[in-house]
Amino acid sequence: MRIDIITVLPEMIEGFVHESILSRAEKKGLAEIHLHNLRDYSNDKWRRVDDYPYGGFAGMVMQCEPIDRCISALKAERDYDEIIFTSPDGERFDQPMANELSMKGNLIILCGHYKGIDHRIREHIITREISIGDYVLTGGELAAAVMADAIVRLVPGVLSDDQSALSDCFQDNLLAAPIYTRPADYKGWKVPEILLSGNEAKIKAWEIDQAMERTSRLRPDLLE
């Protein structure tokens, strides 16, 4: 899959998208992540991409023209499944959405900044608006990095063990069961005997019971 991230601060996320799982995905040829500096698409001699809002509102607004020019250039090269805008008033990003987007071929993520973007871009170009939580960040770069990481790790072959992602938190709307490693007894803190039994059926039943217990206790909203 390919993800194109449009931002006014590419250096803010450049290191992140080229490390760890995302870097592994790129090296395996399973994903491409390209950063585009929106200022490269400005006609202003100072490379400005924002201006004052009509109506006397506070803050600055990202202009239509640079965004339209950048996205049009990308769309001229390939088809995109979604053109996403990171916005605090978008639909809430969650694991099912990450699963869905991981099945797509090409995505554009436009990082919001300043007070936001000219609403005409949202009306005519953006196909999906996504939020990573009910709070406001300085820009959408962190949100884009979070989404890219959550999406790409689900692409088959990216993780060493594809089954690992299937037992993550929020798959099937459940929190993950507790996990342990060696030693089996540390300072008297012992690993549950069932996990040492080698009985796969009983271990699976324990895992489901624990996931249900933790979810009902910590995140009952997931079971509604």
- pLDDT < 70 stretches in the chain: 166-167
User: Is 106:2 a contact under the CB 8 Å cutoff?
Assistant: yes
User: Is 31:158 a contact under the CB 8 Å cutoff?
Assistant: yes
pTM of the shown model: 0.91
Pair of tokens at residue 23: 């870097």
Binding residues: 112, 132-137
Q: What is the pLDDT of residue 167?
A: 66
CB-side neighbour CA atoms (13 Å) of 54: 4
Q: What is the largest CA-CA distance in the chain?
A: 70
Q: What is the pLDDT of residue 25?
A: 96
User: Is 61:117 a contact under the CB 8 Å cutoff?
Assistant: yes
Sequence-distant (6+) residues with CB within 8 A of 21 are 149, 152, 153, 158, 159
Q: What is the pLDDT of residue 157?
A: 93
Q: What is the pLDDT of residue 224?
A: 87
Binding residues for S-adenosyl-L-methionine: 112, 132-137
Domains by residue range for the chain, with CATH: 2-152 (3.40.1280.10), 172-223 (1.10.1270.20)
Q: What is the pLDDT of residue 172?
A: 84
Pair of tokens at residue 84: 């996403």
Q: What is the pLDDT of residue 143?
A: 97
Q: Find, among 35, 152, 143, 17, the residue nearest to 85 by Cα.
A: 143
